[in-house]
Amino acid sequence: MKTNSKALESLFDAFAEQLSTILTDGRTVVDKETGEAVKITPDAASLNVIRQFLKDTGTAPAPGTNPVVNNIAQNLPFDGSEHRDDYAH
């Protein structure tokens, strides 16, 4: 059976679009008390799926080029120096 490249591309694009929507708009859930649909921010599991998707597809900004990533890195409670010796070998 031959792989349908167009179908795989479409699936990949739909998955990426859904992850983007979750990240930017949050998820819709039903409030147990009111029964109404409400938007919530992405939970840790959703963020982990997005992180893994980016890792699996080799998506990463070049160091120092993305202001949002730079801001996150600058606000971490550590500076990474504890791992620098690992790369010296």
pLDDT grade for 24, boundaries at 50, 70 and 90:
very high
d(CA 60, CA 63): 9
For 28, phi then psi, to 5°, come to -100, 125
Token pair of 45 as six digits: 């599991």
Is pLDDT above 90 for 32? yes
Is pLDDT above 70 for 35? yes
* H-helix segments, the chain: 5-25, 44-56, 67-74
Is pLDDT above 80 for 88? no
d(CA 63, CA 71): 12
For 39-50, how does the pLDDT look when each residue is reduced to its tens digit (9 = 90+)? Answer: 999 999 999 999
Is pLDDT above 60 for 6? yes
pTM of the entire predicted model:
0.69
